[in-house]
Structure 1
Amino acid sequence: MKLPSLPKLLSFNAGYVDTLGFLALSGLFTAHVTGNFVTLGATAALGLGGALSKLLALPVFCFVVFASRLACLKLQASDRSPIRPMLIVKLALLAGVAIFALYHGPFHADENVVTLVVGLALVSAMAIQNGLHRAHLSKAPPSTLMTGTTTQIMLDLADLLVSAKSEETAALKARIVKMGTAVITFALGCGLGAAGYMFAPAAAFTLPAILGAIALFASTAGAEA
């Protein structure tokens, strides 16, 4: 059985974790962290819970990206690829969340400390994924930020329709397929994350860890910088 490529697994997992986190952890975006500025404003206006996790999400994300980059550079200095070691760290975070979710049961809006710790653990895992993808898998479309990817797809479609030169057509089509696959894979992750929350709100947190384990053996062909 052939495993999906690493970029596809990362895109699916990001959509899944972001949606599941948003639904289960008082509206916290764990992968698309800048969205927490919007939900923080809504929290303040409507008196909802989870304000602290939304406030801390961006600085925690920034710190983890910075720290993981330093670790990657150290690994590279010793002639080691940082991809698998950083995926293992990410897996440890996802596995810890999964074990706690199974032990604790479904999360509730009033569990401020619990949701804070779980939410920031997921933010840290997605920060590692984002930094690793941008620095070391940059030939693949982004796994979490779909706005820029969708914009590029529309630009390429317009170019293909109106003024693409014959020698550029193949490259445009290939990029559209690659980016379209990333968007569809992310969207499928979002849908399954929502279904997981609806039907198995605690057990749903185990799938990201399972996919994180599978990612250790997935191919990076065509994605590495």
Structure 2
Amino acid sequence: MTGAKRLLWASLALGFIGGYVDTVGFVALFGLFTAHVTGNFVLIGAELSRPSTGQGQVLLKLLVFPTFVAAVALARLIALRCERTGTVASRPLLITQAVFLTAALAASLGIVDLGPRAPWAMATGLLMTAAMGVQNAAGRLAWPALTPTTVMTGNVTQVVIDTVDVLRGAAGPDVKDRLKRFIWPVVAFGAGALAGGVAYMGWSFWSLLLPLALLIGLVVMDVRPDKKV
């Protein structure tokens, strides 16, 4: 398998994980976005406008942003250490993401009262957020050519623009290649979102085992931009 095909598989797997984990967090944890963290600001505003129903959920959403920032900073420090030691950052970052997701699953086992201020529920949501923060950063630090895999708004915009150019016959090879690269993570993210919702309804937080398995597969595959097989 060539390096380009490995990157395609990584893009599909990470897009699926992004949609899956974001949906599990949203369904399980009171509308919490663990990947698209800025979306929580909108939800905070909406909940504060309904003080009789929403304020109990605000604290968790407020804590998500600094948690996400800390996870991105950690990913950057890991990448810098890899630069100093002459190693590739992709595998250490995937392992770090898997560790956070494993910790989130472990924290979920302690949940007795699934309320917005329940300590184990908050820990689960914040650890899921940390995992997605590492994935967000890894796309820039380990695979700079990789299409974004966690927030799809920009991807969908680019897909629509390029599709219009293809349909009007004004697209060159570079545009067609970009369309192929951008459209598949969108499809994978959507599939992950659907799967995450269904899986949580059936298996609660044990549903996190699937993205963990995918991460382990990527670690074993050792996806890196410069690797040719």
What's 1:12 paired with? 16
Structure 2: gaps spanning 5 or more residues: none
- Partners in 2 of 1:141 and 1:177 — Cα distance? 10
Equivalent residue for 1:30, pick from 14, 34, 57:
34
CA distance in 1, matches of 2:225, 2:85: 24
2:106 counterpart of 1:99: yes
Q: 1:110 to 1:53 in 2, by over 3 A?
A: closer
Once the two structures are superposed, residues 111-165 of structure 1 have per-residue CA deviations (whole angstroms, 9 ceiling, x without a partner) of: 5322211111011111111111122212121001111011011111122233526
Cα pair distance change 1:161/1:131, threshold 3 Å: same
- Equivalent residue, structure 1, for 2:193: 190
State the match for 1:140 in structure 2.
Answer: 146
Query: Structure 1's 106 and 144: CA in aligned 2 closer, same or farther, altered over 3 A?
Result: farther
The reply on whether 1:213 has 2:216 as its aligned counterpart is yes
Provide the residue aligned with 2:155 in structure 1: 149
Q: Distance in 1 between matches of 2:137 and 2:166?
A: 32
Tell which deviates more after alignment, 2-11 or 182-191: 2-11
Number of equivalences: 220
Once the two structures are TM-superposed, the CA of residue 19 in structure 1 deviates from its matched residue by: 0.3
d(CA) in 2 for partners of 1:223, 1:158: 33
Deviation, structure 1 residue 223: 8.8
Counterpart CA distance in 2 for 1:186 and 1:201 is 20
Alignment match, 2:87: 80
Q: Secondary structure at the match of 1:71?
A: helix
SS at match of 2:73: helix
Corresponding residue number in structure 2 for 1:120: 126
Question: Match of 1:202?
Answer: 205
Change (3 A) 1:122 1:173: same
Question: What stretches of structure 1 of length at least 5 have no aligned partner?
Answer: none
Which TM-score applies when normalising by structure 1? 0.88
Provide Cα deviations, 1:57-104, integer angstroms capped at 9, x if missing partner. Answer: 112211221222022112111101111111111111111222343x34
Counting aligned pairs with the same residue, the percent is 32
Distance 1:54 1:192 in 2: 24
CA shift, 1:203, in A, is 1.9
Matches within 5 A, 1:159-178: 159-162=165-168, 164=170, 168=172, 170-178=173-181
Paired residue secondary structure (2:115): coil
